[in-house]
Chains A and B, each alone.
Chain A
Amino acid sequence: MARRLALWVPLGLFAFFAGLAAYMLTQDKDQFVESAMIGQPLPDFALQPAFAGLPGLARADLVGGKPRLLNIWASWCLPCIAEAPQLEALKARGVEIVGIAIRDRPEDVAAFLARHGNPYSRIGADPISEVQLAIGSSGVPETFVIDAKGVIRYQHIGDIRPEHVPLLLKELEKAK
Chain B
Amino acid sequence: MIAEIGLAALWLAAALAALQLVAGAAALRGGEGAASPLALYARPAAVVQALLASLAFAMLLYAFAVTDLSIKLVATNSHSMKPFIYKLTGTWGNHEGSMLLWVTVLAVSGGLLAAFERRLPERTLGATLAVQGFVALGFYAFLLLSSNPFERLPVPAAEGSGLNPLLQDIGLAFHPPTLYAGYVGLSVAFSLAMGALLTRAVGPAFARVMRPWVLGAWVLLTLGITAGSYWAYYELGWGGWWFWDPVENASLMPWLAATALLHSVSVLAARDALRTWTIMLGVLAFSMSMLGTFLVRSGVLTSVHAFAVDPERGAFILGLLALYIGGAFAIFALRAGAVAEGKRFAALSREGALVFNNVMLSAILGIVLLGTLYPLLTEAFDVRVSVGPPYFNPASAIFAVPMLLVMAVGPLLRWRADRPERIQFEVMLVAALIIGVIAAVSFFGSFPFLPLLGLGLAAGLGVAAFLPLRGRRLARVPVATWGMVLAHFGVAVALFGMASEGAFTKERLAAVAPGGSVEVGDFAVTLERVVPVAGPNWTAIEARLAVRQGDGAPVILTPQARNFWSPPQSTSESALLTRWNGQLYAVIGNQAADGRWQLRLWWKPFVTFIWYGGMLIALGGVLAIAGRVRVDLKRRMARRQGAARRADLEALAGAPVPAE
Contact = CB atoms under 8 A, between A and B. Distances in A.
| Chains A and B come from one and the same complex | yes
A24 B565 contact: no
Interface string A1-45: 001100110110011011011111101010000000000000000
B332 A25 contact: no
Contact of B333 (A11, A103, A139): A11
Nearest to B322: A18
A106 B611 CA distance: 47
Interface string B336-351: 1100000000000000
A140 interface: yes
B321 A18 contact: yes
A111 B116 CA distance: 69
A140 B322 CA distance: 40
Given A17-B373, A18-B321, A76-B565, A25 B311 contact: yes
- Mostly, the B contact residues are helix
B318 interface: yes
B590 interface: yes
Contacts of A76: 565, 568
Given A18-B318, A20-B380, A21-B294, A11 B326 contact: yes
Interface in B311-329: 311, 314-315, 318, 321-322, 325-326, 329
A62 to B, nearest CB: 21
Contacts of B337: 3-4, 7
A130 interface: yes
Contact of A24 (B284, B329, B376, B568): B376
A21 B332 CA distance: 22
A140 B568 contact: yes
A20 B298 CA distance: 14
A18 B322 CA distance: 7
A15 B315 CA distance: 15
B380 A8 contact: no
Contacts of B322: 18
B89 interface: no
A129 B589 CA distance: 12
A8 B335 CA distance: 11
Interface in A77-124: 77, 103
- Mostly, the A contact residues are helix
Question: Which residue of B318, B326, B329 has the most chain A CB atoms within 10 A of its CB atom?
Answer: B329
A8 B315 CA distance: 25
Contacts of A10: 280, 283-284, 329, 332-333
Interface residues of A, number: 27
B314 A25 contact: yes
Nearest to A18: B322
Contacts of B298: 21, 25
Given A10-B332, A21-B294, A128 B591 contact: yes
Interface in B276-316: 280, 283-284, 287, 294, 298-300, 311, 314-315
Given A7-B332, A8-B333, A128-B590, A14 B287 contact: yes
B300 A24 contact: yes
A15 B326 contact: yes
Contacts of B563: 103
B660 to A, nearest CB: 38
A139 B568 contact: yes
Contacts of B287: 14
B332 A11 contact: yes
Interface of A: 3-4, 7-8, 10-11, 14-15, 17-18, 20-25, 27, 29, 74, 76-77, 103, 128-130, 139-140
A-B interface, 5 closest residue pairs, ranked by CB to CB distance from nearest: A11-B329, A7-B333, A8-B333, A10-B329, A76-B565
Given A7-B332, A11-B332, A14-B329, 9 more contacts: A10-B284, A10-B329, A11-B333, A14-B326, A18-B326, A21-B300, A25-B298, A27-B380, A74-B568
Interface of B: 280, 283-284, 287, 294, 298-300, 311, 314-315, 318, 321-322, 325-326, 329-330, 332-333, 336-337, 373, 376-377, 379-380, 563, 565, 568, 570, 590-591
13 contacts: A10-B284, A10-B333, A11-B330, A15-B326, A18-B318, A18-B326, A20-B377, A21-B294, A21-B318, A25-B315, A29-B299, A77-B568, A128-B590
